[in-house]
Amino acid sequence: MKRWLGLYAVAFFAFLHLPLLTLTVFSFNSSRFTKWEHFSLVWYRAIFRDPQILQGAWNSVIIALWATVLSTVIGTLCAYGLWKRNSRTLTGALYLSLVTPEIVSGIALLALFQWAFRWLHWQLGLYTVVLAHIAFCIAYVVIVVSARLRTLSPALEEAAMDLGANPWQAFWYVTLPALAPGILAAALLALTVSFDDYVITSMVAGVDSETLPMVIYAMARRGASPVINAISAIVTLVFGVLILISERVRER
C-alpha cells in the first residue's frame, strides 16, 4: 500500500502543478498555437507594448498598496484588541465576511456606493475599489496577526507595565516589535489577495479603474492567448517570491 500511496502522491502533485507549469512553458513559445516551435520572448514584449495591460497593472499596484497599508493597520489594531479581550460579535462578523460569496459582497458594495451617490455626486473609481478591498482584507490580516499574538506571553506587557509603561507604551515598544514578522506576513497576504481579486473589483470599478485581473478576464473570455500565458507567468513568479518572503519572515 505504501508504494501505491507514493505513486498516487506523484500523480496528485502533477495534477496540482502541471497546468501552471505548461502554461509558463508555452509562454516562451514563438507560435500562438499549442505546438512547440522555438523559444521566443515575443509575448513578453507584447505585454509591454499594450497600454491597456500596463495601465491595468499600474491600477492594480496602486489599489493593492493602499488596500494593504490600510487593512494591515486596521487589522493589526483589531487583532491586538481581540487578543486583550475577545469580542464574539466582532470575531463572528470577521468570519462572516470571509464566508460571504464574493459575488454577493460585490453586488452589496455596488448597491452601497450607488445608494451613497444619490447624495454625494461622486462616481465609481479607484477609491471604491480600495474600500472594497479593505473590507475583505481585514479578516485575513486579523487571522494572521492573531496567530502570531497567540505565541506571545501576556507577561511581557505586564512586565513593561510593572516597570512604569502605560498601556500605549507597552503596545508600541514591547508587543508591536515582537509582532513585526506576523504583521509583514499579513501585509503580504493582503497584497496578494487584493492584487488577485477579480469578482468584487469588477462590480465596483469605474471606467477609469480597470485592474490587471479585469484585463486578463476580458482576454480570457475571448479564449486563450499566449499573451495571457506570459502575464500569468509573471504574476505567478511575483506572487511566488512574495509568498516565499512572507514564509521566511513568519518562521523567524
Partner 1 sequence: MKLRTWFLLPAWLSLVLLFAVPFAIVLAYSFLTRGVYGGIELPWTAESYRRLFDPLYLAILWRSFAMALAATALCLLLAFPAALFISRAARHKNLYLQLVMLPFWTSFLVRTYAWIFLLRDTGLFNTALQALGITHGPLPLLYNDGAVLLGLVYGYLPFMVLPIYATLDRLDPALVEAAADLGARPLATVWRIVVPLSRPGIVAGSVLVFIPCLGAYLTPDLLGGGRTVMVGNLVQNQFTTARDWPFGAAVSIALMALVALVLVVFLRRQSEPLA
Site for partner 1 in 169-208 (CB under 8 A): 171, 192, 195-196, 198-199, 203
Q: CB-wise, 55 or 232, nearer to partner 1?
A: 232
- Residue 117 is a binding residue for partner 1 (CB under 8 A): no
Q: Which is nearer to partner 1, 59 or 192 (CB)?
A: 192
In this complex, which beta carbon is closest to partner 1, that of residue 45 or of residue 150? Answer: 150
161 binds partner 1 (CB under 8 A): no
Stretch that binds partner 1, among 37-45, 49-57, 111-119, 151-159 (CB under 8 A): 111-119
Contacts of 125 (CB under 8 A, 6+ apart): 205, 206, 208, 209
Q: Is 101 in the site for partner 1 (CB under 8 A)?
A: yes
Q: Does 52 bind partner 1 (CB under 8 A)?
A: no
Q: Which stretch binds partner 1 (CB under 8 A): 37-45, 50-58, 108-116, 156-164?
A: 108-116
Cell 479564449 belongs to which residue? Answer: 223
User: Looking at beta carbons only, is 54 or 112 nearer to partner 1?
Assistant: 112
- Cα 247 from chain centre: 15
Size of the site for partner 1 (CB under 8 A): 83
By CB under 8 A, residue 126 contacts partner 1: no
Among the listed ranges 39-47, 100-108, 151-159, 178-186, the one in contact with partner 1 (CB under 8 A) is 100-108
Q: Which of 69, 236, 249, 250 binds partner 1 (CB under 8 A)?
A: 236
Residue 236 makes CB contacts below 8 A (sequence gap 6+) with 20, 24
Footprint on residues 5-34 left by partner 1 (CB under 8 A):
5-6, 8-9, 12-13, 15-17, 19-20, 22-23, 26, 33-34
Torsion angle of the four alpha carbons 75, 215, 247, 103, in this order, in degrees rounded to the nearest 10: 50
Return the number of the residue (33 or 48) whose C-beta is nearest partner 1. Answer: 33
Return the number of the residue (20 or 41) whose C-beta is nearest partner 1.
20
- Cα-atom radius of gyration of the chain, to the nearest Å? 22
Closest distance between partner 1 and the C-beta of residue 107, in Å?
A: 5
Nearest to 95 by CA among 143, 145, 134, 150: 143
Minimum gap (Å) between residue 16 Cβ and partner 1 = 5
